[in-house]
Structure formats: C-alpha cells, structure tokens
Amino acid sequence: MFNIKMDLCHLIRFTIAYNANIKISRNFSSVVLSNSLVGVKYDQKNTVLESVSEDLSEVTPYFPESFNIAAYVNKSETLQNLIKLNVNLSKIEKKPHIVNKLLKMDFEKDMKNNIFFIKDFVDSENIGNYITKNPLILCETIENFQVRINYLQSKKFSNLQIHEIIARNPFWLMFSTERIDKRLGYFQNKFSLNGNEVRLLATKQPKIITYSIQHINTNSFVVKEEMGFNDEEVKALLLNKPKIWMTSQKSLLERFNYLHNVIKIPHSSILHYPNVLLCRNFKVKQRHMFLQTLGRAQYNANKENYIPLKALIENTDSEFCKNYAKCNVDDFNLFLKTL
C-alpha cells in the first residue's frame, strides 16, 4: 500500500517548485533556482511566518491604478478635510490620475483659496457635490478663475447670470477664455443668435456651452433633418429646451417618432411643449395607450375632450387618472399588468 501522506507532500512540493520555475533535487533537501539564478540555495528555515524585530508600520503597500482611496484617508489631512466638505471620494477614486494629484496637494496652501472662491458662487451645502463632479477645480489657480470671470463681465453677462453659470456648471471655470469665446461664437453663428440670446442660452443651460460639439452637431442634424423642424423652429427649441441637444440621438428619435408618427402629434404642438421630448418613451406609451382604451386620447386643442401633452409626462399616476383619465388609479394599474 502506498503512503498517501508522503505522496501528497511530494505533490505539493513539486507543484510549488514547478510554478516557481525551479529544479528539485531527488531527496528534496535543497532547491536550486534555474536559468539566471543557478546555484542560489533556498534556505528552508526562512519563511514568511518568521517573526521580525523591525518596525514595518511605515511601509506603504503598492496600490494599482484601481486602488481604494480609503487607504490614504487616515494619514492625509487633505483627504480628511475634503470628507468634511462632503466630497464623495468613492467617485473620485475611479480616476486614479486625479487622486494622484490631490494626494500631492496641501489643503491649506493649495486648496483652501479655491474653495473660498467657489463658495462665492455655490451654497455651502453644495460645495462637496460641486467638487465631486470636478475635483480638478482644486488644481486651478485663482488668477485663472478671475480672468474667466472678467471675460464674462466684458461680454455683458450680469453678476446674477455669472453666478448662475458658475454654480450650475462645475467645469466652466476649467475652460480658458479663448475656448469659451469660441464656444459662444459657435452657438451664435450656428443658430443665428443675437447677444442677448447667447447670454440667455448660457445662463439657462450652462452645461451646453462646454458640452461635446460633436454631440451638439449630431443632435442639430437630428432635429432639423430627421425630425423636420425648420431653422426658426430649431432656434426656438434650443432657447426653450436646450437639454434636447444633450440627449442621446437614439432616445430623441424614438420619442419623436412615437409622438409624431404614432400618436400624430404635429410639430407645432411639440414646439409648444418640448418637454415631451425629454421624457422616457415608456411613460408616454403607457398613458397614451390607456387613454386610447378609454376613448380619451384626443390631443387637438380645437376639439372637445382635449388632453394636453403634459398629461402624458407630468404628475403622479393618481393625478393623471383623476385629472385626465377620469378614473381610479387602480384601473390604470390593472391596465399596466396587461402590457
């Protein structure tokens, strides 16, 4: 009968040796490394379990690019202060290059003045969220900030408009005056806007000015060429609901096709209430189909029993049923189960 314990021991030893690319002598008394380390003996007495007299508490482990920033918090006053401001470090750690920059900065010397500058435009309770969205704003200089504010003032933006722009777009102050000037000029030329309209657009939706130009161009093509709005209507849509230009092309077309080609909503009605292009399609479908079963899907303002487009996307289901479907919400819920 063979010795199971001995064979198992040999098997484990052989596996370890094989994986480490080493040669094992027949009696297993010594191990010699192969290739470039031939002749170096392995001392079996030295193991990772041996006690060590040296203090290794200061040794920092290697963190790969996907490391957990929490490992640094206890020893980083900068990170501790950011946490006190309600900055969400778990979101920032997803971008290691930003974390590396922040870890090299001193809160008092490098960040404090930036935070005070931001505080002039953002409410104290929102500063943490603001920095979470754009932590690199802590790496900019106050001089650059001031130059960019001065630019807006030179373009006749009011203090209230500037406050609104900076507060609602954490990335605005990261753009140089040259880039912002080109962006504002782009919108002015492409949509035939005058100065007041450019200022209105930038204030109403500051994020669109720093948004992807390629995305803006794509959605402009969708709205004009695929949806069929003319230049004046495109301009009206932009000034009324600029968020349409920040919506995905696919979603935008799906919503328009259902409204215009299925429900037969004319361009004029969509132009009057463009919010309907920003609502998820399933909600519009559910409410429209339910109104159809009740014989109440009538969206022409010139006819009786008119249902406004806002009924398809606004308010709770209970309010929808009470004000427009004229039934109990339980009936609507039962209908949804049949879909």
pLDDT tens by residue, 215-263: 999 999 999 999 999 999 999 999 999 999 999 999 999 999 999 999 9
Q: Decide: 282 and 275 in contact? Cβ < 8 Å.
A: no
User: Residue 150 to residues 26, 146, 154, 157, 194: CA-CA distances in angstroms?
Assistant: 81, 6, 6, 10, 21
| pLDDT score, position 119 | 95
| pLDDT score, position 94 | 87
User: Residue 334 to residues 113, 280, 338: CA-CA distances in angstroms?
Assistant: 58, 21, 7
Residue corresponding to tokens 């880039």:
179
- Calculate the dihedral angle through the C-alpha atoms of 202, 206, 210, 215, rounding to the nearest 10 degrees: -90
CA 270 to chain centre: 28
Lowest mean pLDDT among 30-34, 142-146, 297-301: 30-34
Give CA–CA dist 120/42, Å, rounded.
Answer: 65
Sign, CA torsion 104/110/111/114:
negative
Q: Are strands 22-24 and 31-33 parallel, antiparallel or unpaired?
A: antiparallel
The two three-digit tokens of residue 337, written as one number: 């189960």
User: Residue 306 to residues 52, 269, 278, 303: CA-CA distances in angstroms?
Assistant: 84, 13, 22, 6
pTM: 0.76
Residue 41 has pLDDT above 60, yes or no: no
Residue 67's pLDDT band, with cuts at 50, 70 and 90, is low
Helix, strand, coil fractions of the chain, as percent rounded to 5? 65, 0, 35
| pLDDT score, position 42 | 39
Instruction: Please report which helix (H) or strand (E) contains residue 22, including its range.
Output: strand 22-24
Residue corresponding to tokens 């040796």:
17
More confident residue, 50 or 193: 193
- Residue 32: helix, strand or coil by DSSP? strand
Buried b (16+ CB within 10 A) or exposed e, 15-36: eebeeeebebeeeeeebebeee
- Residue 33: helix, strand or coil by DSSP? strand
